[in-house]
Amino acid sequence: MSPSGTDAVIQLEAVWKIYQMGDVQVQALRGIDLTIERGEFIAIAGASGSGKSTMMNLIGCLDLPSKGKIRLDGADIAGFHESQLAQIRGKKIGFVFQQFNLLPTLTALENVMLPLEFQDVDSAQARETALELLELVGLGDRVHHLPSQLSGGQQQRVAISRALAVDPDIILADEPTGNLDSKTGEFIMNLLADIHQKDSKTIILVTHDFYLVTRAERVVYLKDGLIERIEHNHNN
């Protein structure tokens, strides 16, 4: 199911995710096959309970499949240990969440520096990179502000800067405009689109908002743990 089959960054092969809820088995994903190419802007869409959050967790190396294979740059992560998954998350994937997930006691600058420090980047270099990223998203005058001193849109811009800090191959955005007003949400989507175009980042947008999916090049619609259909947005 690749658009051209040329340069896959993520491949899901017959992927199942089954949760045991007491005596009941819940099949959140049921034999998913999907290829995402490097540099693609793809949306995974569906109503609540469709399986999109489960798929996000698997693609983001936050969880492992019950059955099937997930290849990231050709390596099957299904058999990886948590330490290996954590290393992948730290280097290859930048996360942008609906709740921002900024540390409240750290300034905007310190929040963006954090993933670099986890990767043992020199403090001076981490600071320089973080300042450049905050300037990029229009927050050069807010670097010493705590999250509580920032608007929701500003917090999300800090979160995007943090996601970009380690120069990851993939940006995984889970309902990135869910807590924002429509104007601010449009700004955030434009920012993600600019990052995709200028830096050729692979953007994976997970959403139930059917307006947001129009910004992606390809949309995977999930229903009841299955791919219902895949559509291409030819205007992008």
Model confidence at 211, pLDDT cuts 50, 70, 90, reads confident
Calculate mean pLDDT across residues 181-204. Answer: 92
All structural domains of the chain, each given as residue ranges with its CATH number in brackets, are 40-64+81-232 (3.40.50.300)
pLDDT recorded at residue 5: 47
Provide, rounded to the nearest whole percent, the portion of the chain with pLDDT above 90. 81
Model confidence at 6, pLDDT cuts 50, 70, 90, reads low
Identity of the amino acid at 6: T
Distances in whole angstroms, Cα of residue 221 to Cα of each of 79, 153, 161, 163, 225: 27, 27, 28, 25, 10
- Rounded-to-integer distance, Cα 9 and Cα 72, Å: 6
pLDDT recorded at residue 236: 62
Calculate mean pLDDT across residues 80-87. Answer: 89
Residue 161 in this model has a pLDDT that exceeds 80: yes
Per residue in 91-118, pLDDT tens? 999 999 989 999 999 999 999 999 999 9
Strands 8-21 and 24-37: antiparallel
Number of other CB atoms surrounding residue 227 within 10 Å: 21
pTM of the complete model: 0.91
